[in-house]
Structure 1
Amino acid sequence: MGTINDGNTHPGATLPWGMASALPHTKDFREKANGPAYYNFGDEKIYGFGNVNLSGLGCPVAGAVPLKLSTGKFDWDIENFASTYKDEEAYAGYYKVTLEKHQLVAEMTATTRSTIYNFTPQNDDKQPINLFLDLGANTSHRKGGSLKVVSPQLITGSQLDGAFCGFQKSTNIYFALEINQPNPQVKIYENQKVTDKREVKGDKAGVVWTLDQLDQGKLEVRVGISFVSEKNALDNLRKEQGDLSFEGIHQKAIAEWNKQLQKVDIETSSNDDEQIFYTALYHSLLLPHVISDVNGEYYSREIDKVLVADDYTRYSTYSLWDTYRTLHPLLALLYPKEQRDMVVTMLEMYKEWGWLPKWELFGYDTFVMVGDPAVPVISDTYLKGITDFDTELAIEAMLATAANTKKNPTRPGISQYIEHGYIPIDDRGGDPQKFSWTNGIVWGPVSTTLEYNLADYNIAQLANVLGKNELAKEYYRRSDSYKKLYDPKTTFFRPKLKNGNWMESFNPTDRFFDIRWEGSGGKGFVEGNAWQYNFFVPHAMNDLKSLMGEEVFLSKLNDLFSNGEYDLTNEPDITYPYLFNYVKGHEKKTQQLVREKGDLHFTNTPSGIPGNDDAGTLSAWLVFSQLGFFPDAPGIPTYQLTTPKFEKATIHLDDYVYNGQTIEIIKTGENDRYFNQFTIDGKVREEVYQLSHQELVSTNELVFNTVSERLSEVKE
C-alpha cells in the first residue's frame, strides 16, 4: 500500500522505528534527487539497494549507502547495474527479489541499526559478481562521501545528506560494511577512477568487490549505520548482529514486528481488510526513528556535539505538522513508552538548541511547514497520562517560541500575531520571491494564525493542569483570536490586512499563492484553500459552531463534502468527517463518511493510500477510524466515535502507564455502518458519540450496538 499514487512508502526490511532499512531502489539517484520515493511498484528496473530509507515523506532525503550489483567486467555506467526483476516478496522485516539481468536472488532483513543481505546466484555460469558501494548515488540533493579500507572484507565511511525541502543544512550518515568472502578483489574509486589510496572522498567515490566465485555459494553483506561515527556504525553492527546468521536475524525481526503489531488483534473474515489494517499499523511504526546508537550516543547537529541519551532512546525525523494530528496520539495510546521517549527527545532538543523541533531531521531542524507543532504533541501526551517527563522544562520550552518576538525561527510572524491577534496578509515578513524556511516570511497567514491558536490552547491546557492559572488564562485568550479572521458574510476564514480590513478579491477555492509551488495554497493558506481550513479550530469546535450558527455550520460542512473540496490526502481537514458528531441528530453522517472515505481510499493494492503517507499520518487516521474512535483535537483527551470496521477488536495496552489493560471493542446488531447505542462494561452510556481517553483506557469492553437498516437513514 502506498508504493505508487505518491504514497512514498516502501516495502523494505526494517524494524519498528528502525534507523536502518534494506530497500530496493527503482530510481537512478546518481545525478539528481529524483523525487521522495525510493521505490515505485511497477517500475521496470531495480538500480540497487539503500540502507537508510524513510517512509512517506514529501521531499527527497536519505536513500543512503546504496549497494549495486553487476556481473562480468565492472563498468561505472549506471545501466550496468539496472536490472529487471521478478518474484518480489515483502513481509514486515524482510524483502526478497530476483534480479533477472544479474541472475541473482537478493534477500534482506534488518536490526534496529543494521542490515544484512544474501545475494545468491541462480546459475553456474561463473561470471564474476561485482558489488559496488556508490557514494555518488542517494536520494538527497547532497551527493558524495568518504570511505576507508579497513580490510578487504570491511569498509567504513560516511555519505553526505542534506538540502531537505530546500533547507540547506547537511549531515553525514556513517556506515560500516562487511562481506563474508575470504579473498575478494577490491578496487577503490576516486573521481570515478581507480586509485591505490586506502582513504578517498568525493561525489564520484566508491568501492567495488569483484568475486570470481562465492564462498558458501552466496554473498553475505552486513551494514551498520550511525549518525555519530564510523566506529559507532561498526559497534552497532557487531552488537546487534553478533554471531547470528541471516535467518537468525530474520526471525528476530519477525518476533519484534509480531510483538508490536499484536498490540491490536482484529477479527475479520476478509483477508483484504486484515492486510489493510495491519499495513496501516505497520506504516504508523516507522517514524520517528531511533537515532541514538547502542552506546547511547547521538549527534546534535545544531550544536555540533556528540551527546549521550542516558535514560531514554533518542529519536529523529519529526514531521510534526503532519504527525501531531493522528500519529502521536496513536503512539500515546498503543506505544506510550516510545511516545514518552519521543517527548523527552524533543525537550532535550530544546535544551541543546533553544527551541522545540518543528521538522527535525537527523539531528538538526529544517523548520519546514508552519505552526508550532511540537506543543500539541507534548501537551496531548501529558493529558493522556504520560507524565514521566520534565513539565517545568516543557512549559519553558513552549514559551521560548510562543513569547519570543525577536529572533524566532519556529514562529515567524509572532509579533504581528501578538499585536493583532492574527497575521496580516500585508505584513507577513520576508520576501516571497526569495523564500526560505528561516527568512521570517509567513507562508499562509490565515493557516499560520489558526495553527498558533491551537498551539496556544495546548500551552493553556498544560499550564492549567500544572496549576499555572494566570499563564493558562492568557493563552486561552490568545487561542480565541481565530474569531478575528472569521467573516460572517462569506462564512469563511479569510485574510485580513493590518488595518483590520478584509483582503479583497477573496476566492475560497483558490489554490495558488505567491510562495512555494503552484497549488501550495490559496492566498492566506497552506497546502489548501479556505474550504479546507473552514473548520480548522479543533480546540474550540463548539465555539466555532456558535460563531457560525449551527445551521451555517452544518450547511457548510455538508457542502465541503458534496462539492468535492474535502481532501483526505492533506492534513488540515483530515478530521472533518468526525465533525458531524458536534451536531445533534446528524452523527450518522460521521459514520457514513468515515467508512466511505476509508473504504474508498485505503485498499489492498500498491495505490492503497490516497496520497503521501506523511510519516504515517494517513495510516494512523485509518487505524483509529477502523477501531471506531478518533482523536479530533490534540490537547483535549476525548475521542469522537464512529462505527468500527470489525466485528471485534482487542487492544492490549502497555504495562507502562496503562497497567496492561485489555479493551475489547465489539460491534453487534443488524447494520454494518451505523450505531445508535454505546455501552461501556455493560452499562448503556447517555453520551453516545464521544468518549474520554480516561474512560477508554479504564474499560474492559466497549459495545457499539448498530441500528436496523430501516432506521439508518442519514440526515443531511
Structure 2
Amino acid sequence: MEVRIYYILSYLARFANTNSSIGHVFPGATLPFGMAKAVADVDNPDEKQGGFASDDSNITGFSHMHDDGTGGSPSLGNFPIFPQAGCPGDNVTNCHFASNDRATKRLNGSVIAKPGYFAITLNTSINTEMTVTNHTALYRITFPSNSTDASQNTTYSPLILVDLIDLPQSITNGSIAVDPKTGRISGNGTFGPSFGVGTYNLNFCADFSGAQVRQTGTFQNNVPSPGTNNLTKTQAPAGAWTQFQAPSNNQILTRVGVSFISVAQACHNAETEIPDFGFETVRKSAEDAWRTKLAVVEVDATGVDDNLQTVFWSGIYRSMISPQDYTGENYLWDSDEPYYDSYYCIWDSFRSIHPLLTLLDPVSQTLMVRSLIDIYRHEGKLPDCRMSLCKGYTQGGSNADIVLADSYLKGITAGVDWETAYEALISDAEDEPADWSIEGRGGLRSWKSLGYIPIHDYDPDGTGLMTRSVSRTVEYAYDDFCIAEVAKGLGKFADVGKYLDRSNNWAHLYKGDQKSFVAGTTGHEGETIDTGYTGFLQPKNLNGSWAFLLAVHVLRAARHGLPHPHPRRPAEFAARLAYLHTSGLLYIGDEQAFLPVFQFHYAGRPGLSAQFSHFYIPSQFNDTVSGLAGNDDSGAMGSFTTLAMLGLWPVSGQDVYLITPPYFASVSVVSGQTGKRATVRSVNFDAAYQNIYIQSATLDGRPYERNWITHDFWLGGGVLELTLGNRESGWGTGGQDLPPSGLN
C-alpha cells in the first residue's frame, strides 16, 4: 500500500499537468469525491482552474472548494483565507486586504502534497498546511518565530482574513460577519457556475484555535474597518478579519466548514466533522480513505520504470476526485437519494471515468447513477454537464444515456430504480426540451423524420446552437444504441428494434466517394495533400443534398471516436486508423481520441492497439510538469492511462473489454460487487516493452482466442494469462474472435 501512496505523492509533488493550458489538475487536499477541496490559489487567470499552478504565480489565498482538470473559466475557490504575521506599525490599516495587494510569492521547493494533505510556505515565511473532511477544510498556519520585524516596525500579532470572492470573481450579494469575542467569521454569497446557467448560493463558517482574539473587523477594497463586524449585500472586494495575540507555539488552526444550505449548516458541518481541531487525526483519516480506495488494485511492478508507476497510480487517484459528493447539501429539492455534482462533463467522463469507477469503485458509481436518475426526477432531464447545483452546457449528445447503459450492463443495481432510469432515457430520445443547450437533445424532429441532423436545421421545438450536425448525428446514433441495450435487458422488446434502427442513422451522413484533403501538413502555407483515403461522414442540408465544407470538417467526422461497426475492409480500416494516429490529425488530449487507440481490435489487429497504446504512454502521459496531453477533465486523462495500463479497455455502453497486455507482469482487481479477485498475468513480460504482442491466451487454464472479454471476468474472478512476444501473431485475428459491433 505504501507503494501506491508513494507514486501518487511523486505525482503530486511535481504538480504534473498544471501549467500552460493543459492539465489544470487539482493538487490539493481532498477525500475521494469529497466536497471540501483545500489548496493555495494563484493569480494567473489562465492557470487557476484547479486553484494552484506550478508556475511562478502569486498566491492570493487558501480556499476550500475546487473543481479538477477543467478548461475554460475557473470555478469555485470561494471565501479564501489569507494569513499575515502582523501589520507594519502595528496598525491594521497597513495590512493587505484586497487580493491584488496581498498576493505573495511562494518559497521555491516548499510545496508538499500527499493524498489528503497540501502544504506551502510563502515568502513571508508563513507555512500553511491543510487537510479535509467531506465538508470542512482544516488549516494549520505556522508563523515564523522571528515574526517581529524591526525594519517594518511590525509587531507579532497575526491577522487572518476571509475574502468574499471566488476564483472567477462571480460573487454577488455577499454577506459576512465576525464575532468579536470568538473571532468566528461566517457568511454567504451568490455565485455563477463556470460552464452553465443560473447561480448558486454558498455559505461558510470559519473558526480559529491556538491564540487569543485581539480585535476584529471588516474590509472593503483595501480599507479595513476595526470594530465593524458586519457587511450585508456587498460585492467584492470585501470581507472580514480577526487579529490575534501572538500564539504561544507560533501556530493558529483555522477550520472552515462549507454548505450550500445555510451558514448554520456550514458551522454544523465543521463542528461535527472536526470537533477538536485535531489536524493529525484528520490528516490520517483522509490518507486512510485513499488507502481504502486504492487497495482493490495490485500490480507486480518488477522492473517497471518509476515514471510509469507514477502515471498509473496518479491516474487512479485523479479518477476519484470528481464527481463530488454533495449529498445532504442540495437545496433545490428534498430527496433521500444521493446527490453528486461537478460532472465536468459527461461527454468526456462516459468514455473512461465511469467505466473505471464501475470496475474499481462500484459502490460510488452506483451512488452516482442514483444521483443522475434523481436529477431527472426533479429537473426533468438527465444532465450532460452539471456543476455547483447548476445546469451545464451540452456539446451534442445526451451522454448520460451511455453512463446509465454501461452501468446497467455491468450489474450496477443496488438501490437503482431502473424503470425510472429507462423513462429518463426515453425522454432524451423522444422529448426535445425548450433549451437543448443545457439538457437533452435538439433537432429531434429532423432526427426522427430525416434520420440525421441537417447542417442548417429547422427546429421550431427548441433552441440551441445549430452546429455540430455531424457529431450530433453520430452521438445520437450511439445514444439510441445504448437505449436499445437497456430496453433488451428490461424486456421492453418493442423498443429494441426501434432504437437499433435509429442507431444506424449515422450512415445517412456517410459519403462513400468523399476524398480527404489535409491542409498545412507539408509545411507550405496554403498547400494541401490528398491523404488517399475515401469515404467520410459529411454534413447534409435539409433537402438531403450534401453540404461541402472545408476538409477539417471531414476529418473531425472521422475523429469522433465512437464505436464503429465491423469494418468491411479490415486492412484498409487498420491502415487509415494508423494514419489517423501517426499523421498528427488525432489529438490524444481530447477524449474522443481514446477509443481509436484500441479500435484495431475490430479489424483483427489487436497487436496494433497495444502498439499505439505504447505510442502515447509515456510520450504524452508522464510525470513531468507538462505530462498531460490536455486538460485532465475531472480525471478523464487519468482514467485513460489507468485503463490502458491495466490492459482491458472498456467500450463504454457495451459489455466489452478489448484485451491488450498490461504494463505490468500482472494486475489484480478485487470486485467491489462480488469480492472476487480477477488477475491478468503476462508470460514473457519485459519492462522494456518489446514483448507487447499477445501470442496466445488462457482463461482459468483453458485456451482463450477472443480479443475481448466481458465484465463477468471482473465480477467472477479468475486468471487471464497472456503469453507475449515481440511480433504480432494470429491470436485474436479471426472473424469469430472479434468484438461485437457497437453499431449495426
TM-score by length of 1: 0.88
Deviation at 1:121, TM superposition (A): 1.7
1:631, 1:482 → 2: CA distance? 22
Corresponding residue SS for 2:634? coil
For 2:38, the aligned partner's letter is: A
Check the 8 A contact 2:33/2:322 in 1, yes or no. Answer: yes
Task: For 1:255-404, list aligned pairs within 5 A.
Answer: 255-268=288-301, 269=303, 270-292=305-327, 296-300=328-332, 305=333, 307-308=334-335, 310=336, 312=338, 314-388=340-414, 389-404=416-431
**CA distance, structure 2, for counterparts of residue 238 and residue 712 of structure 1:** 63
User: What residue is the counterpart of 2:508 in the other structure?
Assistant: 484
The more displaced of 619-628 and 594-603 is 594-603
Query: 1:679·1:702 contact (CA, 8 Å) conserved in 2?
Result: yes
Distance 1:137 1:395, change over 3 A: closer
The aligned amino acid for 1:400 is S
State the Cα distance separating 1:667 from its structure 2 match: 1.4
Give the 5 Å matches for 1:178-217.
178-180=207-209, 181-190=211-220, 193-195=223-225, 196-200=228-232, 201-217=234-250
CA contact (8 A) 1:492 1:530 kept: yes
* Distance across 2 between alignment mates of 1:184 and 1:682: 74
Q: Structure 1, residues 373-412: CA drift from partner, whole Å, max 9, x if none?
A: 1111011101101123111111111122211146352212
Contact 2:562-2:595 within 8 A present in 1 as well: no
Alpha-carbon distance, 1:217 to partner: 2.1
The residue that corresponds to 1:597 in the other structure is: 616
In 2, the alpha carbon distance for the partners of 1:567 and 1:577 equals: 11
Q: Which residue of 2 aligns with 1:27?
A: 43
In 2: Cα distance, 1:710 partner to 1:321 partner: 34
1:244 CA drift (Å): 5.2
Q: In the alignment, does 2:286 pair up with 1:253?
A: yes
Contact 1:589–1:714 (8 Å) recurs in 2: no
What is the rounded CA distance, in whole Å, between the counterparts of 1:530 and 1:124 in structure 2?
64
Q: Among residues 628, 635, 643, which one is paired with 1:609 in the alignment?
A: 628
What amino acid does structure 2 have at the position aligned with 1:421?
A: G
Aligned residues with identical type, % of pairs: 26
Check 1:406–1:111 CA distance in 2 against 1; reply closer, same or farther (3 A cut): closer
1:474 aligns with 2:498: yes
Encode CA deviations 1:555-579: one digit per residue, 9 max, x unaligned: 3212212211121111222210101
Instruction: Choose the corresponding residue for 1:48, options 26, 49, 61.
Output: 61
Paired residue type of 2:111: E
Of 111, 114, 117 in structure 1, the residue corresponding to residue 139 of structure 2 is 117
C-alpha displacement of 1:713: 14
- Residue 15 (structure 2) pairs with residue 12 (structure 1): no
Task: Spell out the pairing of 1:516-535 with structure 2 (5 A cutoff).
Answer: 522=553, 529-533=556-560
Contact 1:379/1:458 (<8 A) preserved: yes
1:94 aligned partner: 117
Q: How far 1:347 moved relative to its partner?
A: 0.9
Q: Which moved more, 1:696-705 or 1:480-489?
A: 696-705
Contact map agreement 2:162 2:185 (CA 8 A) in 1: no
RMSD: 2.4
**Alignment CA distance shift 1:313-1:384 (3 Å):** same
Give 1:221's match in structure 2, choosing from 243, 254, 258. Answer: 254
The structure 2 residue matched to 1:668, chosen from 680, 683, 687, is 683
Deviation at 1:124, TM superposition (A): 1.9
Q: Secondary structure at the match of 1:569?
A: coil
- 1:82 aligned residue: 104
Pair 358,683 (structure 1): closer, same or farther in 2 beyond 3 Å: same
Using the TM superposition, give the Cα deviation of residue 210 of structure 1 relative to its aligned residue in structure 2, in angstroms. Answer: 2.4
Work out whether residues 178 and 217 of structure 2, in 8 Å CA contact, stay in contact via their aligned partners in 1: no
Unaligned runs of 5+ in 1: 431-437, 511-521
Q: Map 1:626-641; keep pairs closer than 5 Å.
A: 626-632=645-651, 634-641=652-659
Residue 198 of structure 2 corresponds to which residue in structure 1?
169
Is 1:154 aligned to residue 184 of structure 2? yes
Conserved? CA contact 1:276–1:603, under 8 Å: yes
Q: For residue 364 of structure 1, report the CA deviation from its aligned partner.
A: 2.2
Paired residues of 1:569 and 1:612 also in contact (CA < 8 A): yes
The DSSP-based 3-state class of the residue aligned with 2:145 is coil
SS of the residue 2:633 aligns to:
coil
* Offset at residue 325 of structure 1 (A): 0.7
Residue correspondence of structure 1 range 403-422 to structure 2 within 5 A: 403-405=430-432, 407=434, 409=436, 410-422=440-452
User: Which residue of the partner structure matches residue 461 of structure 1?
Assistant: 485
CA drift at 1:272:
2.5
Q: Aligned to 2:622, what secondary structure does the other structure show?
A: coil
SS state at 2:161 partner: strand
Moved more, 361-370 or 405-414: 405-414
Distance 1:175 1:369 in 2: 33
Tell me whether 91-100 or 399-408 shows the greater mean CA deviation. Answer: 399-408
Residues in 1 aligned to 2:167 and 2:379: alpha-carbon distance in whole angstroms: 28
2:662 corresponding residue in structure 1: 644
Aligned to 2:721: 703
Assess if the C-alpha contact under 8 Å between 1:14 and 1:20 holds in 2. Answer: yes
Q: CA deviation at 1:28?
A: 5.7
Matches within 5 A, 1:49-64: 49-59=62-72, 60-64=74-78
Please give the alpha-carbon distance, in whole angstroms, between the structure 2 residues aligned to 1:79 and 1:190.
13
Q: SS of the counterpart of 1:48?
A: strand
For the Cα contact (< 8 Å) 2:120–2:128, is it kept in 1?
yes
Change (3 A) 1:428 1:219: farther
Letter in 2 for 1:485: L
- Counterpart CA distance in 1 for 2:422 and 2:729 is 49
Cα drift, residue 686 of structure 1: 1.9
SS in 2 for 1:479: helix
Amino acid at match of 1:613: D
Unaligned runs of 5+ in 2: 1-15, 88-93, 149-155, 515-534, 734-744
- 1:484 and 1:557 map into 2 onto residues whose CA distance is 21
Corresponding residue of 1:515: none
The letter for the 2-side match of 1:602 is F
Residue 80 (structure 2) aligns with: 66
The residue aligned with 1:571 is: 591
Corresponding letter in the other structure for 2:71: G
**C-alpha distance 317-590 of structure 1, shift in aligned 2 (>3 A):** closer
Name the SS for the 2:491 alignment partner. Answer: coil
What amino acid maps onto 1:686 in structure 2?
E
**Which AA in structure 2 matches 1:266?**
V
Q: Structure 1: how far apart are the matches of 2:280 and 2:374?
A: 38
Aligned match of 1:518: none
Deviations 1:41-99 (A, max 9, x none): 13243222121011111232111121123342313352334223232111111111111
1:680 aligned residue: 699
**How far apart are 1:138 and its partner, in Å?**
2.3
Equivalent position SS for 1:695: helix
- Superposed displacement of residue 453, structure 1: 0.9
Deviation of the 1:122 alpha carbon: 2.5
Alignment correspondent of 1:139: 168
SS of the aligned residue for 2:557 comes to coil
TM-score, normalising length from structure 2?
0.85
Cα deviation code 1:474-498 (max 9, x no counterpart): 1111111000011111211111111
2:408 alignment partner AA: Y
Q: Does 1:659 align with 2:686?
A: no
Report Cα offsets for 1:430-486 as digits up to 9, x if no partner. Answer: 9xxxxxxx8422330100111111111111110111110111111111111000011
Structure 1 residue 551, shift from structure 2 partner: 4.2
TM superposition shift of 1:311? 5.2
SS in 1 for 2:556: coil
Say which is worse superposed, 54-63 or 377-386, in terms of deviation: 54-63
Determine the structure 2 residue equivalent to 1:233: 266
Task: Please list the CA deviations of residues 517-558 of structure 1 after superposition, one character each: whole Å capped at 9, or x if unmatched.
Answer: xxxxx48xxxx823412xx441x531xx23xx3344233212
CA offset at residue 189 of structure 1? 2.1
Task: Give the partner amino acid of 1:115.
Answer: A
CA–CA distance in structure 2, aligned partners of residues 699 and 163 of structure 1: 43
Amino acid in structure 2 at the alignment position of 1:706:
L
Shift in Å, 1:144 = 6.3
Query: Aligned partners of 1:408 and 1:76: how far apart in 2?
Result: 42
What amino acid maps onto 2:662 in structure 1? P
Residue 557 of structure 1 aligns to a residue whose secondary structure is helix
